[in-house]
Amino acid sequence: MQWLLFKTFFLIGAFSFGGGYAMLPLIQQEVVQKNAWLTATQFADILSVAEMTPGPISINTATYVGYQVAGIGGSILATIGVVLPSLILITTLAHIVLKNKNNPYFQGVFCGLRPVVVALIIGAAIVLGLDTNIFRNVSEIFLTVIALGLFCFTKLHPLLLLLSFGVLGIFL
């Protein structure tokens, strides 16, 4: 199981572009849908904790998923697995990218990748919302819209939003 966790998160790390949030659809597909290691609700709970704790969400998610599935060893191997491809890739390509940073082909690749990353993040949010039955009533839809509005149109820190809505959830 630990080897499978390492391999799965290594592949996720190797084939994800755009940072931690762009990895979430792949992590969700592998962990919830393909391997059924966790339920959608368990995955949503892990994402909540991973978002609130310091560090990149993809690494935190890999760590928590690994622990949930195979204990401390799984946690360590899933974390190493998700980080290792980036470490290898960055150390290998850093010199080439820096040398060619003004090359129009390099710039074109990144212009093409940015919209895909945004689409993957939005897609992950929609799939997560539908799979976990987050929207069980009108008040939860209302809270979602309010949180999205506060996030997009104010300068409130995301941690403040998470803590505030977590406390609000206790009272609702």
* Segment 13-51, tens digit of pLDDT: 998 877 778 888 899 999 999 999 999 999 999 999 998
**Do the beta carbons of residue 44 and residue 115 sit within 8 Å?**
no
Express each pLDDT in 53-79 by its tens digit.
Answer: 888 899 999 999 999 999 999 999 999
Binned at pLDDT 50, 70 and 90, residue 98 comes out as confident
**DSSP states of 98-117 as a string?**
HHTTT-HHHHHHHHHHHHHH
Residues 160, 131, 81: CA angle, nearest 5 degrees: 75
Q: What is the arithmetic mean of pLDDT over 4-9?
A: 96
Region for residue 103 given its phi and psi (left: phi exceeds 0; alpha: psi -120 to 50; beta: otherwise): beta
Q: What is the DSSP letter of 154?
A: S
Contact 68, 46 (CB under 8 A): yes
Beta-carbon contacts of 112 under 8 Å, excluding residues fewer than 6 positions away, are none
Q: What is residue 17's DSSP assignment?
A: -
8 A C-beta contact, residue 23 and residue 12 = yes
The confidence band for 133, taking pLDDT boundaries of 50, 70 and 90, is confident
The answer to whether residue 129 scores a pLDDT higher than 80 is: no
- Cα 151 off chain centre by: 18
Mean pLDDT of the chain: 89
Share of the chain above pLDDT 90, in %: 47
Q: What is the largest CA-CA distance in the chain?
A: 56
Percentage of the residues of the chain whose pLDDT score is greater than 70: 100
pLDDT category at 109 given cuts 50, 70, 90 is confident
Q: How confident is the model at residue 101 (pLDDT cuts 50, 70, 90)?
A: confident
DSSP letter string over 53-101? SSS-HHHHHHHHHHHHHHHHHHHHHHHHHHHHHHHHHHHHHHHHHHHTT
Please tell me the predicted confidence (pLDDT) of residue 78: 97
